[in-house]
Every structure is written in C-alpha cells, then in structure tokens.
Structure 1
C-alpha cells in the first residue's frame, strides 16, 4: 500500500484535538508526508440565523484570532513539522473537502467521538467529512480525558 503524501488534520480545537494531531503527526512521519492542520469556524450569521441586526464581524475576527493562536499552540506539541495552518470560515465538511482538493491532499484526518444511535442520526462532522471527500478520510476515535471521578 502506498504511503500518503499530504495529510490534512481537521481539528475542532476541543480538548481531544491533541489526540487527532498526534495520530496525524505519527502517520505523516511514517509516510514522510507533508502535514497541514485546519480548523473551520462556522460563520456567526449562519450560527444565529442571520436575522440579528447586530454587526458580528468583530466577534468573528476574535474567534478567528483565538483559533489561530490555539492551532499554533497545538502544532508546537506535535513531533512532525506542520507545513501550513488554516483557519477557514464555513461549513466544516465543505471547507475540508475544498482545502484537500486545493492542496492535493490525499488524506484528511478528523476526530470521532464514536457516537451511536440517535446522536449519530443527528449528524457529526466526521461523518460529513467522510461523505463527499475526494480523498481518503481517517476518523480517529478520541478518548475523553480520565478524571478521578470517572
């Protein structure tokens, strides 16, 4: 089986994102592949229905800046160099599909919480990325951090 050449890790910036990035870095290192990371911010006009008479552009810019800072922090933890960090605005699956096509990526890696039943029917980002991707998609099962109460 041929190795991958360009891997994009789609990160939601949750506490579990480091698990996804670690797996992506390990695979990129094993294949000698280029590694890029991406986070997609949903536009506030979509998130709030678009009918609020409030200018949300400053809030959107703050979200973008915070996402860029968090991606930078996460990329410092991975043991493989990250070629590019992308913060995109739109619908996650659509933006990751578009980015993969633009960057000629041959693998998208996303995290999955392993939802079943009704939660799966409501849809998940990893499921949306899988359907319609023009390249392979790897869903990494992320584990919730254990605490003494668990």
Structure 2
C-alpha cells in the first residue's frame, strides 16, 4: 500500500511540474523550464503564475520609419530565419509590391531571452539577422521588429496596434514542439483581428489565401 502511494505521489508531483512548465512555455517562456518544473513539482505552479503575467513587448526595431512613405497596405511577416519564414517573406513582399505597400519583418523571442530594460545577446543576434534580411528586400520599403512573448499573441497584438493590414506566416512541420507548445499559425487564425495568410511550404502563389478576417 505504501509503495502504491509513493508511486502515485511521484506521478502527481511530476505531472504538476510538467503541466505548469508547458503552460508557462505556451505563454512565451522557454521550454527549458520543463526540467525545473519536473524537479519542483507543485511548487513550480506559483513560479509559473508569476512569470506568465508578463505581456508582449517590442524590444528592438529599425530602420526608422519615413513619414508618408506608405501608400498601400502594411504587411507584417513572422520571420525566425527558417526556410518556411523565408517563403512567407517572399510571399509578403510579392503582395506588398503589387499594391505599393510595405513589409515589417518580426521575430518573437522568449521572455527568458530578455533581461527587462537591457539588451541581451539574443536580442542583438535577432536584430542583426533581421537587419541583414531587411536590407535584402528591394522591391518594397521594409523594416523589422524584435518582439518578446508568446509568438502568436505577440504577432497579432503588435499587428493590431500598428494597424497592419495582413499578417503572413509560414507553416512549420508538425514536430514535437508544436504538439506540446501549440501552433503559431493556428493561434493567429483563431484569434487575430488582422487578416492572416498562412503560407504552405511547397504551395504555389495561387494556393495561398488569407484565412482569417477582421
């Protein structure tokens, strides 16, 4: 009887920590909290609740906006350096160029990559990479932003705040991280007030259409 109780206690301890850490990861924090959650068990619940109270932030951006340069739609594209996000950027540029619009590249970092009020290597690296990619966009005016928070929430919140007309994201493969932490594209489609275009990895231009509307 004692052995059964001990096993159930250990299972309950691990589940409490695991579920709290996964919930925290869905709210914009690093999955590296998962082993800590497993160790701390139910005590990790309070840590998760405290850390999950943060809201998405803009921590870096550029180049400076030029007043009056936008005569067409503003397209925000989620860009994390992957092949899928590059495909999404190509689609976003194509859409903006055909309508005299502009493109904003946005990468979303975890809260744990950022020290509040200070720059970090992760912010510096994301800023440098986005600046390099942005400089290669010649067909339309382009700028970039580094955000922190849950990816889906951060993209839709800042797209709405900045009066974007369309969010473009690439669809990633359904790996373990997506099953555990959730799909960014699914979050955007379900909750974004701004129209969303999910670009399939191997789809042609005519096969991609906005799938959510304000």
TM-score between the two structures when normalised by the length of structure 2: 0.53
Give the secondary structure class of the aligned counterpart of 2:123. Answer: helix
Structure 1 residue 19, shift from structure 2 partner: 1.6
Unaligned regions of 5+ residues in structure 2, if any?
Answer: 1-71, 203-214
> Which aligned runs of 4 or more in structure 1 are off by greater than 6 angstroms?
none
Instruction: List per-residue Cα deviations over 1:86-144 (Å, max 9, x = no partner).
Output: 1011111111111111111110000102539x88754211111221101110011225x
Partner-residue secondary structure (3-state), 1:31 = coil
Task: Note if 1:57 corresponds to 2:115.
Answer: yes
1:59-102 Cα shifts (integer Å, max 9, x gaps): 97110110011111111232333443110111111111111111
Matched pairs, number: 129
DSSP-derived class of the 1:129 partner: helix
CA distance in 1, matches of 2:75, 2:193: 13
User: More strand by proportion, 1 or 2?
Assistant: 1
Residues 23-67 of structure 1, C-alpha deviations (whole Å, 9 max, x = no match): 11011001211211111101117xxxxxxxxxx739971101100
Counterpart of 2:80 in structure 1 is 12
- The answer as to whether partners of 1:25 and 1:79 remain within 8 angstroms in 2 is no
Greater C-alpha radius of gyration: 2
More helix by share: 2
Give the distance between the partners of 2:185 and 2:194, measured in 1 at CA.
Answer: 14
- CA–CA separation in structure 1 for the residues paired with 2:153 and 2:133: 23
Q: How does 1:31-42 map to 2 (within 5 A)?
A: 31-42=99-110
1:11-31 deviation digits (Å, cap 9, x = unpaired): 122244322211110110012
Look up the match of 1:49: none
TM value normalised by structure 1: 0.73
Matching residue within 104, 122, 125 for 1:66: 125
For the 8 Å contact 1:7–1:36, the answer to whether it is kept is yes
Gapped regions of structure 1 (runs ≥ 5) = 46-55, 144-150
